[in-house]
């Protein structure tokens, strides 16, 4: 097991004009309309959660175990629970098999020829069909800069046919940034895609509150027909979200001063507030902001907090090796590289943990994504490494 040495990385935050004024109150949750689920965060505990498991030694903390390095910008680890193979996505346009902690020598899927890998663009995420083991789905930036959501047929667990591509959604992008990224199947069998507001800065194209576009929200796609609908909106750049137990956790990248994590009931019509708000603050305080009907974040992270500049979500841990953290949502930051988690229970943040400050978990570098293997164990990706989170006991 390799412990990753502490590395502090602080990059310049996204530029943008204007100061922000604080919102003094947040609307009350209304689950019947999904108007909002904002809640105050509690302070981080000083002891780890307990478990009723009697066969495991006391959990003292977490650490990173190196799985693979020298990779071309890995962004995700994913798997079909109960399957035999996990998969690693690299932004250049390839998908790799991960079996028993070892990366395959040849890619499972190679679509470098049709992926624009530049800046925020590239192969951004992978999802596996929940019922048909022969199908996988990807979100990538096409050579023309467009968002592409495609299906590929697998010939085995270790190979997908690049020639079998069936494009479900192809959407022009007005700028090269704010492509969103994550795709995930929900419990109803729909493929959910996170899309940014079209790029630029300060909601240049006016898509954040525009319900006539698919940009700036979570989009639900019928994988059989390709029919797409705007499901939730008011997002700036949801690089990663996670659907679990009837909730959606969205880590939305901020503009001038604040990153945010929002948690809402997974129902249609949720408005996450951008560009009316950034975090818990008015984005343009000189014009005021009406927060009625908005779902405000449960966590905001100010730029500069532990080097924060661009939030990286995140998933809810559902493995069995570390039962003390079951149900906690983990997130990080591309610049700060911290590791934090929250437990959301009955419409409120019950607890938060800063794993770096409280338990000395090292900063691995610039965190690009999270993921899980076939057993539900959790992984973190950096610009060139895949790391597994393991218990210290």
Identify the CA nearest to 140 among candidates 188, 174, 100, 92.
92
DSSP element (H, E) containing 173: none
Q: How many residues does the chain have?
A: 393
Q: What is the domain-level CATH number for residue 136? A: 2.120.10.30
Confidence of residue 312 (pLDDT cuts 50, 70, 90): very high
Confidence of residue 31 (pLDDT cuts 50, 70, 90): very low
In a domain, residue 13? The reply is no
In a domain, residue 295? The reply is yes
Stretch among 5-9, 64-68, 250-254, 351-355 having the lowest mean pLDDT: 5-9
The tens digit of pLDDT for each residue in 217-257 reads: 999 999 999 999 999 999 999 999 999 999 999 999 999 99
CB 373, CB 98: distance < 8 Å: yes
In a domain, residue 32? The reply is yes
The tens digit of pLDDT for each residue in 327-342 reads: 999 999 999 999 999 9
Residue 15 is predicted with a pLDDT of 33
Its pTM stands at: 0.88
In a domain, residue 123? The reply is yes
Q: Number of folded domains in the chain? A: 1
Peptide bond into 314 cis (omega under 30): yes
CB 112, CB 73: distance < 8 Å: no
Selected residue with higher pLDDT from 155 and 38: 155
Q: Token pair of 289, please?
A: 């902001």
Average pLDDT over residues 70-76: 97
Rounded to an integer, what distance in angstroms lies between the CA atom of residue 126 and that of residue 243? 15
Give the side-chain half-sphere CA count within 13 A for 55: 4
Selected residue with higher pLDDT from 254 and 12: 254
In a domain, residue 7? The reply is no
* Average pLDDT along the chain: 89
Average pLDDT over residues 96-123: 96
CB 377, CB 321: distance < 8 Å: yes
In a domain, residue 322? The reply is yes
Q: 297 is in which domain, residue-wise?
A: 21-392
Give the rounded percent of residues in the chain with a pLDDT score beyond 70.
86
Residue 22 is predicted with a pLDDT of 30
Confidence of residue 47 (pLDDT cuts 50, 70, 90): low
In a domain, residue 285? The reply is yes
Stretch among 36-45, 108-117, 188-197 having the lowest mean pLDDT: 36-45
- The yes-or-no verdict on residue 149 having pLDDT over 90 is yes
In a domain, residue 171? The reply is yes
């Amino acid at each position: 097991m390799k412990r990753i040495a502490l590395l502090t990385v602080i990059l310049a935050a996204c530029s943008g004009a204007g100061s922000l004024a604080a919102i003094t109150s947040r609307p009350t949750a209304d689950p019947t309309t999904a108007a909002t689920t904002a809640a105050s965060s509690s302070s981080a505990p000083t002891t780890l959660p307990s478990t009723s498991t009697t066969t495991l030694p006391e959990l003292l903390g977490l650490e990173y175990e190196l799985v693979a390095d020298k990779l071309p910008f890995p962004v995700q680890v994913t798997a079909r629970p109960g399957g035999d193979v996990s998969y690693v996505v690299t932004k250049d346009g390839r998908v790799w098999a991960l079996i028993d902690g070892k990366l395959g020598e040849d890619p499972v899927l190679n679509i470098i020829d049709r992926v624009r890998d530049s800046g925020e663009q590239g192969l951004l995420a992978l999802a596996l069909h929940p019922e048909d083991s022969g199908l996988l789905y990807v979100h990538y930036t096409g050579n023309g800069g467009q968002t592409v959501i495609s299906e590929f047929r697998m010939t085995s667990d270790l190979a997908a046919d690049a020639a079998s591509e069936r494009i479900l959604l192809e959407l022009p992008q007005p700028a090269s940034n704010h492509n969103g990224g994550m795709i995930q199947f929900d419990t109803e069998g729909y493929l959910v895609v996170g899309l940014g507001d079209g790029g630029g800065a300060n909601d240049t194209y006016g898509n954040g509150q525009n319900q006539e576009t698919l940009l700036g929200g979570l989009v639900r796609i019928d994988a059989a027909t390709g029919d797409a609908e705007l499901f939730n909106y008011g997002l700036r750049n949801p690089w990663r979200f996670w659907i679990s137990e009837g909730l959606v956790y969205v880590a939305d990248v901020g503009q001038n001063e604040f990153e945010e994590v929002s948690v809402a009931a997974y129902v249609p019509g949720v408005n996450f507030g951008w560009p009316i708000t950034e975090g818990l603050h008015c984005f343009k305080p000189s014009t005021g902001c009406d927060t009625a009907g908005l779902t405000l974040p449960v966590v905001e992270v100010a730029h500069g907090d532990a080097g924060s500049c661009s939030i990286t979500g995140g998933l809810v841990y559902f493995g069995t090796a570390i039962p003390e953290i079951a149900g906690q949502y983990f997130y990080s930051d591309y610049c700060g590289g911290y590791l934090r988690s929250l437990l959301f229970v009955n419409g409120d943040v019950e607890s938060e943990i800063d794993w770096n400050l409280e338990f000395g978990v090292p900063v691995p570098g610039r965190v690009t994504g999270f993921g899980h293997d076939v057993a539900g164990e959790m992984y973190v990706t950096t610009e060139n490494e895949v790391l597994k989170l393991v218990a210290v006991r």
